Structure formats: C-alpha cells, structure tokens
Amino acid sequence: MSIPARAVEPVRLAHEVHGYGPPLVLLAGTGYAGATWGDDLVGRLAEQFTVVTLDYRGTGKTPGTDEDYSTRLFAADAVRLIDELGMGPAHVLGHSMGGRVAQWVAIDAPDRVRSLVLAASGPGEYRADCEPQPGIPLANAIALIEKGYERTIADQIRSTFFTPEFAASSPAKVDRLIQAFWDNRASLRDYLKHVIARQGHRTVDRLAEIDQPCLVIVGDRDTHVGGTGSHLDQSRHLADHLPRAVLRIAEGVAHGLFWQTPDPVIAEVVAFLEPRPPRA
C-alpha cells in the first residue's frame, strides 16, 4: 500500500463485527460513526456477510487526533483494520464521503478489495464548471454559526437524506438517523476536519486505476448541488470512468438511500456482491 502524502501515527478504530460469510466493510459519510448504519440494515446484511462497521478518527468511540484529516488517511486506517481482522480481500461499501474513502482503499491497497459499492458518492472536482470549495463551504459555516451544530445536522439530514414526502410521512425514521448521528457525534472540531477532508478529496485523475468490480448506486432525487455538482451527476461520472462499473439509479430516493428505501437498495447490493451460500 502506498503511504499517504503525510504519514501519521495509526489509531485503533472502534469497530463492530456481525454475521458470517464474505467480509463486507461499511464506510459511512462525513462525520458519521458506524452506529449510524442502524441495527436493521447491518442485521440484514449480516445474514449473508461478515459485516464490519467502524468509527473514523474523531467519531463514535474512536478518539480524534491532531493531524489534518483526509479521505486517504481514513482509507489507510480502514486498511489497517482489515489487516488486523484478517479479512482481506473484502467487499467495501462506502456511502457519500465513505465512497470517497473506499476509492482510496481500492487505489492504495487493491489486494485488500474484492469489490466496491460506491453509494451516492463522487470523485471530487471533475468538471470545469464546478467551482471547487476547499475547506469549509460557506453555507456550512453560516449554518453552524446561525443555527448551531445540532440543528444544522438535523436540518441537513432532513433536507438532503430524505425526500420531503418521506420526511413528512415517516418522521420517526428520519429522527432515528438524526439521533444516531448525535449520540455518536464527533466534536465540532473533528466534524469540521471531516468536512475539510471531504472537500479536499480528488480521485478524478485516478479512477482508471480502480479495476475491481464496482456497483455505483444513487437516488434519482439526490440532486442537491454542492461544490462538485450533485451526487447524481457525480455518480454518473464515476460509472462512466471506472473500468468495471455498473450504475443503478434508485427511483424516488434522495441521499439517504439505505435509510429511505432499504429493501430495494439492499437487494441491489446483495445481487451485485458474492454472498455466502444458503445454509444446507
């Protein structure tokens, strides 16, 4: 595995392992701890895979560190965990920023990756008309200052993870994810370091190096436009430029496809991966 540009001291990642079968590592989004995947989702995947969830540096039960964070650093941490558990090569599933981390896992440690699922993710800046926003995006900073950390996260989850119709009809499911984030939250300092890591991600020039089979999956209503375009547009770019990618677009779903419509999304993931054979 190549070493990130700034090598840092390793940290032991808090993690959980469930089920049995081929290993499947779940990488969550910006500032999200492993617990945000939820017991229902993990339990269903654990019926056919050995599912590993983890807390990034500064989230959940993993302590923060003083170094600058990057998606490549998070990938190096994940690879160390795969090695510690003796679970390589593993299927690696990343949602949002986790998909960006997963890309670095595949580039830097290809022998540890059996296949990839990149859910609602992207490669960073990829179009001339997408103005990059390194550091903390202005809108994020204003929201945090005006509304505070907790309300900013809650509003962000309600407005981007779920369609308005779903949020109105299933408020308990929305609130469950918000609470899972808040109960396992990073400090504000660590959360902002995660945001900076996400904004600094760029693998657009290295996608051709990712030759593992890859499922790119995204909701058709994941159209919120950030500094590198919408997740829908970014996912299409990934599918067009990864050598062995297939694209699946979930209908009527926003950014939180695993939480809004878990049944069809899990079915797509399981059909793509290699689950364990059924019990005799």
What sign for the dihedral angle of Cα 195, 197, 200, 206? negative
**How are strands ordered across the β-sheet holding 50-54?**
15-18, 50-54, 23-27, 90-95, 113-119, 214-219, 245-250
Q: What is the mean pLDDT of residues 111-137?
A: 84
Q: What is the mean pLDDT of the chain?
A: 93
Quick: pLDDT tens for 146-163.
999 999 999 999 999 999
* Whole-angstrom distance, CA of residue 39 vs CA of residue 16: 11
pLDDT of the residue at 130? 58
- 83 or 274: which leads in pLDDT: 83
φ, ψ for residue 235 (rounded to 5)? -65, -40
pLDDT at 82: 98
pLDDT per residue over 191-208, tens digit each? 999 999 999 999 999 999
Question: Is the peptide bond preceding residue 264 cis, with omega within 30 degrees of 0?
Answer: no
Q: What is the CATH number of domain 15-272?
A: 3.40.50.1820
Both tokens assigned to 170: 């299933």
The Cβ of residue 13 has, within 10 Å, a number of other Cβ atoms equal to 21
Per DSSP, the three-state class of 40 is helix
Look at residue 277 in the predicted model and tell me its pLDDT: 60
The CA angle 118-259-278, to the nearest 5 degrees, is 70
Entry field: residues in the chain: 280
Which helix (H) or strand (E) covers residue 259, if one does? helix 257-260
Q: What is the mean pLDDT of residues 33-59?
A: 97
Which residues 6+ apart lie within 8 Å of 25 measured at CB? 52, 54, 78, 81, 82, 87, 90, 91, 92, 93
36 Cβ neighbours under 8 A, 6+ residues apart = 28, 177, 180, 181, 184
Q: What is the pTM of this model?
A: 0.94
pLDDT band at 224 (very low <50, low <70, confident <90, very high): confident
pLDDT of residue 125: 81
Give residue 157's pLDDT: 97
| Range 173-178, long-range pairs (CB < 8 A, 24+ positions) | 173/259, 173/260, 176/38, 177/36, 177/38, 177/256, 177/259, 178/153, 178/154
How high is the pLDDT of residue 229?
A: 76
Q: What pLDDT, on the 0 to 100 scale, is given for residue 88?
A: 87
| Contact of 89 with 112, CB cutoff 8 Å | yes
Position 126 scores a pLDDT of 74
Amino acid in the structure at residue 267: A
Give the pLDDT confidence score for residue 215 in this predicted structure: 98
Quote the pLDDT of residue 6. 47
Cβ–Cβ < 8 Å for 259, 179: no
Q: CA-CA distance, 32 to 59, in Å (whole number)?
A: 7
Whether the per-residue pLDDT at 1 is higher than 60: the answer is no
Q: Mean pLDDT check: name the lowest of 47-61, 85-99, 183-197, 213-227.
A: 213-227
